[in-house]
Amino acid sequence: MIRRNLGLAVASVVATVVAVEIGLRAVSFSERLGRERVGAWGWTRYDPVLGHGNVPGFRVPELAIEIDSLGFRGPEVSRAKPPGVVRVVCLGDSTTFGIWMEGPRDRRADAPYPAEVERLARADGFAVEVLNGGVLGQTSAGGLVQLFTQVLPLDPDVITLRFGNNDHGRGFPADLTPLATRWEYPVLRLLPAIAWRSEVVRLAFHVYRGRVAAGGAPIPQRVPPDRFEENLERFVAIAAERGIRLAFLDFPYREIERGLSPGERLPNIMQAVGSIEELYAVHDAYQDIVTRVATRTGTPFVRTLDALRTAPEPTFTDYDLSHPNAAGYRTIARRLYEELRGLGWLGTAGGS
């Protein structure tokens, strides 16, 4: 009798979940939520699981921006990895996505370093596919959610990380998620990849994150230093478990001697610090964490600072302190490609 009642209860729960799933799909729940765009650039939107992410299928021809159906910048890629191809995924923020300010009103986005890494590798005969997982405003916490929901299902061979700038940026209640509470990370690890396509799961995350955001308060840093270090260590652990090769990239700012960009003031909507010296000190402290985690875990750390500083042409404009220009992104791509090739992570040139 007990077993029969338990079976009936389970069947009832399953039937209810299926009915709710069908209902949510019928009203296009995720699509409705995704109409809320994030930021002024237009191609990021609210996502109940990711927090925010790229708009699949978005196009900005004048900026050479193309986002595929999976939310990665670049041409369409298949979910299944092509045979014999090394799949590299570059995770990071807007500097990985590949934007910068050329002038006070001149936005540019036509030289992302992941695409250049792929071009360099293919020119040398490597069978590689480099996916640009950069998202404007992304933190290490958002990158972890992205790893579980978007990246691991694609069976990557190599993952690169470039985080820190938004982690130490000013946080507001709506920015306190993802990973704002301790229970969320274990749940992310537990759920299978197929769960992220469920509208019921997305509804649950939407309700949860709304409650967390409603109870939050502005904080000086979206991801405090201890959480940032923990997130990097989580990336390392997951990569080791899955047999994925992982590398960190450094995140240099423009030379401090050049000062703030014209018209820029501190503190501002993005940073709670009061001076450029304080901003650079905080940023350097977060980069020291990357160095420490890389050293402690034996994770390769690709350093681009010297190459950016000694390049034959300027690698930052006067109007963007944190985002390199086209020459800067090409410099980052060259250093990253050289490192991956030297590590032997790109396979064998010519596929032999």
What is the structure's pLDDT at 269? 86
Separation CA 58–CA 209 (nearest Å): 26
Domain ranges of the chain: 1-33, 46-351
In CATH, the architecture of 46-351 is 3-Layer(aba) Sandwich (3.40)
Q: Give me the pLDDT at residue 216, please.
A: 67
Q: Which pLDDT value is given to residue 218? A: 74
Nearest Cα to Cα of residue 143 among 76, 50, 67, 70:
50
Distance CA 335, CA 27 (A): 47
**pLDDT digit of tens for each residue in the chain (352 aa)?**
666 666 665 566 567 767 877 887 787 777 777 666 666 678 998 888 888 899 999 999 999 999 999 999 999 999 999 999 999 999 999 999 999 999 999 999 999 999 999 999 999 999 999 999 999 999 999 999 999 999 999 999 999 999 999 999 988 766 667 888 888 999 999 998 888 889 999 989 888 888 887 766 778 889 999 999 999 999 999 999 999 999 999 999 999 999 999 999 999 988 999 999 999 999 999 999 999 999 999 999 999 999 999 999 999 999 999 999 999 999 999 999 999 999 999 999 875 4
Angle, helices 113-123/326-343, rounded to nearest 10 degrees: 50
What is d(CA 151, CA 42) in angstroms, rounded to the nearest whole number? Answer: 23
The predicted model scores a pTM of 0.94
**Residues 97, 137: contact at Cβ < 8 Å?**
no
| Angle ∠(287,273,211) on CA atoms, nearest 5 | 85
- At 5 the pLDDT is 62
Nearest to 197 by CA among 148, 143, 144, 156: 148
Distances (CA, A) of 67 to 50, 109, 119, 132, 252: 16, 13, 18, 9, 26
In sequence order, what are the residues at sequence separation of 6 or more whose Cβ sits closer than 8 angstroms to the Cβ of residue 1? none
Cis omega before residue 220 (within 30°)?
A: no
**Alpha helices, H only, the chain:** 2-26, 29-33, 94-97, 113-123, 140-146, 184-190, 199-214, 225-242, 276-297, 305-310, 326-343
Largest CA distance in the chain: 80
For residue 213, the model assigns a pLDDT of 78
Q: How far apart are CA 131 and CA 113, in angstroms?
A: 11
Q: What is the pLDDT of residue 194?
A: 86
